A and B are shown apart, each in its own frame.
Chain A
Amino acid sequence: MEAKGERRIRVLLAKVGLDGHDRGIRTVARYLADAGMEVIFTGLRSTPEQVVEAALQEDVQVVGLSFLAGDHMTLAPKVIEGLKRHGLAPVIVLGGVIPQGDVPALERTGATRVFLPGTPPEQIVQFIRSTLQQN
């Protein structure tokens, strides 16, 4: 629970690329919102540039991306590099259908955490809270 007067956690969620499967990210959006966070969802088919722009404008502490079409190795690094270029260092969480074998490479690129299929959404809420508290 957040202390009184503390700013609400702001989270940007995005579907980057052409994939239209948004059930997972919308579920996460609902759980984060129910946990008191401010959630901005940019909708389907956002480009990496649009996500970076939105992260700048909305001044978010967390960026969450969902991939279910196997294009995470191409697109996630583009978003992460774009954020870095603009001097942004949000917590970056990835989810969707991402094989375990790709996780180390994504973390090296700068993803804070990759959530694998079957992760209870509540776990994502807890992760975001505890990571932001540590910082």
Chain B
Amino acid sequence: MPDLKAELKRWQEGTLRRTLERSPERSPGFSTDSGIEVKALYTPLDAPADDYAERIGFPGEYPYTRGVYPSMYRGQLWTMRQYAGFGTAEETNRRFRYLLERGSTGLSIAFDLPTQLGLDSDDPLAEGAVGRVGVAVDTLADMETIFQGIPLDKVSTSMTINATAPILLAMYIAVGEGQGVPQTKLTGTTQNDILKEFIARGTYIFPPEPSLKLALDIVQYCFAQVPRWNTMNIAGYHIREAGADAIQELAFTLADAITYIERARERGLAVDEFAPRLSYSLGCFRDLFEEVAKYRASRRLFARIMKERFGAKDPRSYLFRTFSGSCGSTLVSQQPLNNIVRVAMHALMGVLGGHQAIHTACWDEGFAIPSESAAQIALRTQQILAHESGVANTIDPLAGSYYVESLTNEIETRAQDYLDRIDAMGGMLKAIDSGFISREIQESSIRYQKQVDSGEKVIVGLNRFQEQEDAGQSSAMELFQVDPEVEARQRDTLSAVRAGRNQASVDRVLAQLGEVIERNENVMPVVIEAVKAYASVGEITAVMRRAWGEYRSPVYI
């Protein structure tokens, strides 16, 4: 083959130019959703083959660009993990059974905001929010109802819970014990990623330091007692949803991870003891190739950090295992059925990106908690991809695409630049504290919005191809409504539990919790005792609030 560089130049200045002189490209420039310039054509010059061993390699081997496991989806398909949880414990239990009967292979619980923020359903601040965005859990009794008839040694459960994660995990352990399932057999995940709450999701309670302590208490407790539990799901998803671009999403997720790992080591845990139980989550946004490249870059960059920065020896510590899902912000209320197509693209990115678990959004979730039929379509979308499309039949099928390999390298380099800047600031806590992270995200978010305003970024149905009669949503759409009585019923349940429990033992164990906090010991064992005595989420959190206070975030516009 003649010199490729010369050949490319010949093509650009000859064949291509002649065409462009007659009919120019449809845009003055092309870029990815995150602003990486996209060329007309990629060749081996952009992804040299001599990089193969160092940068690409083989699945299940360092640097894991091609996948964390050797056989990937040829061995086992990804977990189709649908997010559910609404209203009362009874309703959530029914939805879980519905999903399990239809072939869902993992459960994922959404909790309502009072539960996430350590407030009981009868707290005045909880008014209007009970059972809204997830299920309300006040005491162990609610958790027992949620998992009634669902043996905890047969399912894996992912809990989207952060500030109050120790309490909800304690309840899960207690439910298992009640079913005769020992802690050692429980599998699942607590999100338990408090740092991203300070930069993206807003569901923090305590100041950063005690918040980090609680997160690490779970890591330490589970290492010894619940060895199969994924103690943290370090989430980029929410960072993306807050307006970050793909590079920031990846960089800030890794910066959070680095902080947790450093803290765990300060507690005397060896990196190989806990790193294998950390998992990650990234969003599925809009730009197919950029997202796939992001997932591939994330595995490689993470493996390098674990090996070179932390000196991990156990290969399991190198694995960037991911649960990923549709970014809800990409869904559009106008002509909402189009969202089914968007979600299919999300699932495709996820599969081509090699995730361990994938969540697909429901087309109607921009308006309400998804209806049953919308939830079924979301799950079926994954099943169609898995069983009809053939995309799961070979590993990392986009590898070797000059474009995708080049994008993978570019995203890795840009994310590494951010990590270097954060290190230079003295680490992620300082970067958060100074407002740097919030400002970077805010700037990306505004940039994106301006591109939507100008029409440079097209959103079908919103700024192009609108329908005149479309007034936001169809009146014929059947929306699932949260029963307005939920709040009253939940308060009644809580009163009944309070009336039936032994108040003296509740008081005793809450006092013990206060002492444990005072001595700066791990709170998990005493929190487990507290939930078993049917102390409520609000009562347990109140003890912590008294000790640590509440955090008020500075406001950046």
Contacts and interface: CB of A to CB of B under 8 A. Distances in A.
Contacts of A70: 129, 132-133, 368-369, 482
Interface string B466-495: 000001110100010010000000000000
B17 interface: no
B366 interface: yes
Contact of A20 (B119, B203, B462, B557): B203
B453 A22 contact: no
A122 interface: yes
B241 A33 contact: no
A100 B473 contact: yes
B442 A118 contact: no
A117 B332 CA distance: 8
A71 B557 contact: no
Interface in A47-80: 47, 69-71, 73-75
Nearest to B556: A26
A contacts with B: majority SS:
loop
Contacts of B197: 20
A22 to B, nearest CB: 6
Interface residues of B, number: 46
A4 interface: no
B242 interface: yes
A8 interface: no
A85 interface: no
A106 interface: no
Interface residues of A, number: 34
B18 interface: no
B393 interface: no
Contacts of B241: 23
A98 to B, nearest CB: 9
Contacts of A19: 113, 129, 133, 202
A23 B445 contact: yes
Contact of B445 (A27, A44, A100): A27
A20 B202 contact: yes
B38 interface: no
A106 to B, nearest CB: 14
Contacts of A117: 332-333, 366, 472
B430 interface: no
Contact of B366 (A21, A74, A75, A97): A97
Contact of A99 (B116, B368, B442): B368
B367 interface: yes
A99 B242 CA distance: 21
B462 A44 contact: no
Interface string B12-43: 00000000000000000000000000000000
Interface string A95-122: 0010110000000000000001110111
A39 B557 contact: yes
A42 B555 CA distance: 8
Interface string B123-134: 001111100110
B458 interface: no
A22 B133 CA distance: 16
Interface in B291-311: none
B341 interface: no
A43 B471 CA distance: 31
Contacts of B201: 20-21
Contacts of B126: 18
Interface string B363-407: 000111100000000000000000000000000000000000000
A90 interface: no
B202 A44 contact: yes
A10 B366 CA distance: 31
A70 B473 CA distance: 16
Contact of A43 (B242, B473, B555): B555
Contact of A118 (B243, B446, B462): B462
Interface string B440-475: 001001100100110000000011000000011101
13 contacts: A18-B119, A18-B126, A19-B129, A19-B202, A20-B201, A21-B201, A23-B445, A30-B442, A39-B557, A41-B555, A41-B557, A43-B552, A69-B129
Given A17-B128, A99-B473, 8 more contacts: A20-B201, A20-B203, A27-B449, A44-B553, A69-B129, A70-B133, A70-B368, A71-B132
Q: Which 10 A-B pairs have the closest CB atoms?
A: A20-B202, A74-B128, A71-B128, A18-B113, A117-B333, A116-B472, A29-B557, A43-B555, A70-B132, A44-B202
